Structure 1
Amino acid sequence: MTMSLGIILILCLYVIIGVLDQISIQIGPYTPLFAATFTGWVMGDLQTGLMIGATLQLMTLGVATYGGATIPDFLSGAIMGTAYAIISGKGAEYGIGVAVPIGLLLTQLDILGRMCNTFFQHKADKFAEVGDYRGVERCNVLGIIPWTMSRILPVFIGLVFGEKVVSLINEMIPAWIMTGLKASGAILPAMGIAILMRYLPLKKYWPYFIIGFVLLAFGAEFFSVLGVALVGLALAAMYVMNQQHKVPVTSTNNVVDEYDDEEVEIDE
């Protein structure tokens, strides 16, 4: 399977949208879930795109560019990983295994894009000193160019030579490495879930976690992920409503009781 120039241009346009979303309102297109799903849809294999995107999304939970830190470029990695998986026909595990090193490698281009952006920001400082607010706005807009180019160029080159790149990878990489990539791709979802659990308040709400686990582990024939999510929503609503009917206990002389950190439900 080869990629047409039209598909490549559509995916490059999506990269631009993803970058603009990442540095502005962040409603979703910049995430690997959206990127991989869109790539799979455009290339006619939505299921593979969903599998790759969902796995990479789990890896990015809680990851952000705090303080301007550079993080793996899973936007580009998701697009190229999904495209390579579909072109090669090796499945989602292969695409995940390829997307991760691509995302890590492209951190260097992210740094280069940020460095080039400083040129426009210094120009903006000079415009600000003379009170030229239009010049400041113009520099901020132009600063988007190096940022987007740091994503578009690798994606465009990777997709244009995609089939040749995949063939070259298949010829050069030993079979045991390919097996390792597939194994790591299968392990990554578990690692993502572990990262998510690390940030959740499981010590306080562990009963709800057990309920969800039991429903999926022992009732998979009757419950889907959506069904368990709705049960969780109902339990959360019940918890919130119960909390709203509780008031802290205080002594008669307006001195807070020694057990004021606990709450007692009062019948209405």
Structure 2
Amino acid sequence: MLVEAFAVGFSCVLVKFGAWWGAMGWDRPMIASTITGVLLGHPVEGITIGAALELVYLGAQSMGGVLPQDYGIGGVFGCAFAILASTRPSVAVALSIPFSMLGTLIYDLFKFWATSLVTKFQKHLEEHRIGAFKRLWYSQAIVYLAMWFLLGFISILVGTTAIKTLVNTIPTVIMHSLTVAAGMLPALGMALLMISLWDKKLAPYFFIGFGLVAFFKGTLIEVAFIGAAVAVLAIIGQLTTTKNLKTQAEHVTDEEEDFFND
């Protein structure tokens, strides 16, 4: 279990590193679960669980530094417990929710500490102590990554056996309820996303995608392929309209210049 705990801790480090430095999107559940699955030696399971968790957290976005749910940590632990406890993806979805909330709490505590260092950073700059400024910055970065590693390492080292025992002792009725609830969570994620994206101009595209799946039994890959083609057509149409407007504006300008020149 020591190796697995180290793998999950390193997964947390990679996910947070890719999210903070460069905003590469490694904290999305799809990527986080895939990284975890690869490090645990189960890449297929990691991708499968990541796809399920991505739907759950589809509408969760960080706005102005405020993180409603740490979906990266939720993706790591949801995948890890599903693989290590040999449980179903629906249970992994249910287990990822509390860890996503725990990740938010830990991140808020870190921000509180990091904010308290602002005066020290400012003092180092005013005194032109660039070396001290860099050391403080690297210390902050090390603490940031170390706390996520410890969260993953300790949680798996101490908690996997307890989680496995808990899953095995859950009655069938409750397990079925968790499965039903997990099936509803993707719909909640879609609803949260639609709240921010819904517009009367975009509504037809939503119903086209719905119709392709509901009436023509299209798969997500087929719908995504058709959606990509429609998006290309929309972009081409927008570029053509912009080009025509620009040409018309230039034509009007040329006519005005000819009028004044005459």
Q: Do these two structures clear the TM 0.5 threshold for a shared fold by scoring above it?
A: yes
Structure 2: state its 5+ residue gaps: 253-262
Q: In the TM superposition, what whole-angstrom CA distance separates every residue of 1:158-214 from its partner, at most 9, and x where no partner exists?
A: 111343221443477666554433322111111112222222244103332222222
Structure 1 vs Structure 2 CA RMSD: 2.8
Q: Does 2:191 correspond to 1:217?
A: no
In structure 2, C-alpha distance between the alignment counterparts of 1:160 and 1:171, rounded to whole Å: 18
TM norm structure 1: 0.78
The residue identity in structure 2 corresponding to 1:39 is T
Hey, which bits of structure 1, 4+ residues long, moved more than 6 A?
Answer: none
Residue 232 of structure 1 corresponds to 227
Q: CA deviation at 1:112?
A: 2.2
Q: Does 2:237 correspond to 1:242?
A: yes
The residue identity in structure 2 corresponding to 1:89 is S
The residue identity in structure 1 corresponding to 2:224 is A
Residue 82 of structure 2 corresponds to 85
Residue 187 of structure 1 corresponds to 184
Q: Does 2:135 correspond to 1:138?
A: yes
The residue identity in structure 1 corresponding to 2:106 is L
Residue 200 of structure 1 corresponds to 197
Which protein is richer in helix relative to its size?
A: 2
Residue 160 of structure 1 corresponds to 157
Q: Does 2:107 correspond to 1:110?
A: yes
Residue 15 of structure 1 corresponds to 12
Q: CA deviation at 1:156?
A: 0.7
Tell me which moved more, 67-76 or 127-136. 67-76
Query: In structure 2, the residue corresponding to 1:140 is in which secondary structure?
Result: helix
% identical aligned pairs:
28
In structure 2, C-alpha distance between the alignment counterparts of 1:72 and 1:207, rounded to whole Å: 30
Q: 1:132 to 1:92 in 2, by over 3 A?
A: same
In structure 2, C-alpha distance between the alignment counterparts of 1:70 and 1:227, rounded to whole Å: 33
Q: 1:201 to 1:142 in 2, by over 3 A?
A: same
In structure 1, C-alpha distance between the alignment counterparts of 2:37 and 2:104, rounded to whole Å: 24
Q: CA deviation at 1:26?
A: 1.5
In structure 2, C-alpha distance between the alignment counterparts of 1:147 and 1:78, rounded to whole Å: 19
Counterpart contact for 1:35–1:75, Cα < 8 Å: yes
The residue identity in structure 2 corresponding to 1:136 is F
Counterpart contact for 2:8–2:156, Cα < 8 Å: no
Residue 149 of structure 1 corresponds to 146
Residue 124 of structure 2 corresponds to 127
Q: Does 2:72 correspond to 1:54?
A: no
Residue 266 of structure 1 corresponds to none
Structure 1: state its 5+ residue gaps: 255-268
Q: Does 2:96 correspond to 1:99?
A: yes
Q: How many residues align?
A: 245
User: 1 or 2 for the larger relative contact order (CA 8 Å, sep ≥6)?
Assistant: 2
Q: CA deviation at 1:27?
A: 1.2
Query: In structure 2, the residue corresponding to 1:204 is in which secondary structure?
Result: coil
In structure 2, C-alpha distance between the alignment counterparts of 1:241 and 1:74, rounded to whole Å: 35
Counterpart contact for 2:74–2:96, Cα < 8 Å: yes
Counterpart contact for 1:121–1:143, Cα < 8 Å: no
In structure 1, C-alpha distance between the alignment counterparts of 2:118 and 2:25, rounded to whole Å: 27
Counterpart contact for 1:127–1:135, Cα < 8 Å: yes
In structure 2, C-alpha distance between the alignment counterparts of 1:234 and 1:170, rounded to whole Å: 44
Counterpart contact for 2:82–2:88, Cα < 8 Å: yes
Q: 1:244 to 1:218 in 2, by over 3 A?
A: same
Residue 23 of structure 2 corresponds to 26
TM norm structure 2: 0.79
Counterpart contact for 1:114–1:147, Cα < 8 Å: no
In structure 1, C-alpha distance between the alignment counterparts of 2:236 and 2:62, rounded to whole Å: 37
Q: CA deviation at 1:151?
A: 1.9
